[in-house]
Structure 1
Amino acid sequence: MSLSIGTDELLRATKKALADSEVKLKQAHSKIVRQDAEDAITRSGASSSRLLADNMAAVGRVAENGRDVEYDVNGRWVDRDTYVSDLRRSEDTSKFFADAVAKKSPVVLRDNPFSRASFNLTKQMQLIREDPDLAARLRREAD
């Protein structure tokens, strides 16, 4: 009984092992990209985070250095912070970010919320958060 394996059989076994390794590597990279995307979107405070994370994962890859994850933006590869910033600025996706919506919805004022006559702490905080320059001016102008 011979224990030797033919060259063809060895070549087939090697190709199968290589293909299996490539599949496992792609699956591992997909998990890494997915986790990176979910982490970035969660930290950004976006609503519809699953939708945005799906979007990011679909265009992400593990970088050539094997450590970082990068995302495709119209043919250029960027880091996740740049990608999330682009999402915030995009007309199509900015609606998912509360701070972007707040900037597009200016505070409507009838009275100065810093004055004694129309004191309103809620409006003051909203102004300080959304338009600090206007808040400072109104505070100076108050009684």
Structure 2
Amino acid sequence: AVLVTEASRFSGTLITAGFAADYGRDVCAVPGSILSGTSRSCHDLIREGATIAESIDDIPRIPRHIIYRKESSDTHSFSLHCNQTENEQNDLSKEEECILNLLAAAPRTLRAVSEHCHLDLRKTALSLTTLQAKGLVRLYRGLYVRS
């Protein structure tokens, strides 16, 4: 799949998205502000049939062995790392374990997970996103559920 997050009207990103579509790849686009020039191409792609990507669950066919890790605290670049074993993939923090145990019982909102696991909302959202990337949790109709 190709995910377009921002692109101006005459961006090389559109060429890439066009080639992806020509080769039968899924094209996803993140909608943005109607006032932003860098969102216009995403809106055009959506009008032309690209999948709207609002969360990781909206992006089709992401291999579940791929997780996203921030390279360092002073940069905004991310890279992909493939886990070698299932144990490494499921190497969970205590926060992630608490969340998975809670979600085993029933789907929950972000706020409910935060309150039950005694985490601030930012840390809860980060842990849930990590668990989504690992394929262990997904967002369904505003509730987090175990995959």
Establish whether TM, by shorter chain, passes 0.5: no
Specify the TM-score bucket, using the shorter chain as the normaliser: under 0.3
Return the structure number with greater strand share: 2
- Please, what TM-score do these two structures have when normalized by structure 2? 0.23
- Please, what TM-score do these two structures have when normalized by structure 1? 0.23
Q: Max radius of gyration: which structure?
A: 1
Determine which structure has greater relative contact order: mean sequence separation of CA pairs < 8 Å that are 6+ residues apart, divided by chain length: 2
